[in-house]
Amino acid sequence: MEPVLKIESLKKYYGRSKNQTKALDGITFQVMPGEFLGIMGSSGSGKSTLLNCIATVIQPTSGTITMNGRAIQELKGAALADYRGKEIGYLFQNFELLDNLTGQENILLPLSLHGVPEKESKKRLEQLASYLEVKDVLHKFPAQMSGGQKQRIAAARALILKPGIILADEPTGALDSRNAKALMEKLLGLNRQEQATILMVTHDSNAASYCRRILFIQDGVIFHELRRSIPEESRQEFYTRILKVMAQLGGGSANVL
C-alpha cells in the first residue's frame, strides 16, 4: 500500500549560521491511508513547524514532502491553493472560524474558495452536520456557539472536501475535558468509519491516546515512536505508556526508555 504522506530528511533552519535554530533537523516518516498518527513533543520541539511545512504555510530548508505521490514543494499558484484546500483539511487549536459567518457558511467556505458547486456537497454537509452533532448551530454565528460546537464546526469545515489527510494542530487545546473527549471520539469515529487519515499534533496525552501511532519529537528530530497494539491494548494502557514517554521527555534524550 502506498503512503498518503511521505516525509524525507525534512529540515527547517531559521537564521544564519551563527544564530541558527534547527526547528526540524532531518525528519523522516510516512503516514499510511486510514492512519491516525499523533505527533507529540514539548513546546519548541518543532511539531508545529512540521505541520506548517506539510500545510505549505512555510517552506522547508531541505528535504521532501510527498502527498499522494506528488512533491508538494513543486506546487505553485492554483495547484498549491488546490492542495491546501482539497488535499489537506486543517483543524486549528483556536478553531479559526470566521466570526461573521454562520456555522454553515463557515463549513461551506472551502467550497467557495475552490469553486466547488454547493449542490454537490449538500449531502456531505448534512451527513457531517448530523455526525458531528452541529445541525442545531448551522445557522448560528460562532459567538453564539460553545467551544465544542465551534471545534466540531471547524472539523466539518476541514472534512467537507474529503481531504486526503486531516492536519489537526492541538485540536483539543482550547476545549474543556468533556468537549475534548467528545471531539476525539468523533475524530476516531471518522478515522474508523470513513478511513479518514489524521495527523494530529498535540500536547495532550489523553487526546494522543486515541491515535494508533505516536511520534515524539525533540529538538527537531524524532526520538521515539509508540504504536498501539489493537485490539489487545486498551486506550487506557496506551495512555499510560504515553505518560511514561512524556515523563522521560522532560529529562531529554538521555532518559529515553
Residue choice 52, 172, 209, 248 for contact with other proteins (CB under 8 A): 52
CB of 232 to other proteins, least distance (A): 37
Beta strands 198-202 and 36-41 are parallel
Residues 6 or more apart whose Cβ sits within 8 Å of residue 112: none
User: Does 171 contact other proteins by CB under 8 A?
Assistant: no
Q: Assess 78 for contact with other proteins (CB under 8 A).
A: yes
CB of 118: closest distance to other proteins in angstroms? 6
**Interacting residue with other proteins among 75, 80, 174, 188 (CB under 8 A):** 80
Residue 48 binds to other proteins (criterion: CB under 8 A): yes
The residues, ordered by sequence, that sit 6+ positions from 243 with a Cβ below 8 Å of its Cβ are 205
Residue with cell 468523533: 186
Nearer to other proteins, 1 or 78 (CB): 78
User: How would you class 219 by CB atoms within 10 Å of its CB: exposed for 0-12, middle for 13-18, buried for 19 or more?
Assistant: middle
> What is the DSSP code (8-state) at residue 32?
-
CB of 169 to other proteins, least distance (A): 10
Collapsed DSSP state (helix, strand, coil) of residue 179: helix
CA distance 38 to 55: 16
Provide the minimum distance between the beta carbon of 160 and other proteins in the complex, in angstroms, as a whole number.
10
Residues that bind other proteins (CB under 8 A): 43, 48, 52, 55, 57-58, 77-78, 80-86, 90, 92, 96-101, 105, 108-115, 117-118, 141, 143-144, 157
